[in-house]
Amino acid sequence: MSASLRPDLALISNWIAPGSRILDLGCGDGALLAHLAKTRQVRGYGLEIDDDNVAACIDAGINVIQADVDDGLAEFADRSFDYVVMTQALQALVRPDQVLAEMLRVGREVIVTFPNFGHWRVRVALLGGHMPHTPALPANWYDTENIHLCTLADFDALCRDANWQVLERALLDRSHRTGASIRVAPNLFCEIALYKLRLPG
């Protein structure tokens, strides 16, 4: 599985200490948790709403809890996980800010990834008068699951306003690589952002 692991997931696993407890929100078929179990000896649980994904996780021997992230994390105790992870699902939530706050309550650290709506392709599309169709955001405005898109600058502002501490950040293009252009003008060239957050203190 590691051979075909998405590069952003590989990056996330480098941010995770061996032997830790992980909650993966919207875990899909459990690829990240399977990788982390093998390479980092983590004890993990995935939260997943989709029937087929739940069956796939069980087939792969991944601990999966069938639940809707939008229903909140009230079932989980404060600081009951070392990491709470969510990849590429933040923008599809009803209240991403509230879910992030919940993730920071339940986990000591939070790892989150999202598509950057400040990317130049998005801006070009909007200048042309249309909602963007980009490789990172291929859906139509009317059938997209993404209801709360944001730019890097917006996300940074939220972290600042909420007083969340950014421990690490990785900014990638759509091939999940970093590069000189992203370093020079991150909000124009980053397509996928990875953040590691925690509460201050």
Where does this chain bind other proteins (CB under 8 A)?
21, 43, 45, 51, 54-55, 57-59, 61-67, 75-77, 80
- Buried (b) or exposed (e) across 56-86, using 16+ Cβ within 10 A? bbeeeebbbeebebeeebeebeeeebbbbbb
Question: Please, what is the minimum distance in Å from the beta carbon of residue 16 to other proteins?
Answer: 18
Residue 54 Cβ vs other proteins, minimum distance, rounded to whole Å: 6
Is the CB of 65 or the CB of 158 nearer to other proteins? 65
Distance of CA 65 to the CA centre of its chain: 18
Cα 161 from Cα 156, distance rounded (Å): 9
- Minimum CB separation of residue 143 from other proteins in Å reads 23
Identify the three-state secondary structure at position 134.
coil
For the CB of residue 27, give the shortest distance to other proteins in the complex, in Å: 11
| Residues 36, 38, 44, 48, Cα dihedral to 10° | 70
Beta strands in 26-183 (DSSP E): 43-48, 64-66, 81-87, 107-115, 165-172
Identify which of residues 25 and 122 has a Cβ nearer to other proteins in the complex: 25
Nearer to other proteins, 79 or 160 (CB): 79
Would you say 80 or 144 has its CB closer to other proteins? 80
Q: Which is nearer to other proteins, 61 or 135 (CB)?
A: 61
CA distances (Å), 97 to each of 131, 138, 154, 157, in order? 24, 24, 12, 12
Q: How far is the CB of 20 from other proteins (least distance, A)?
A: 12
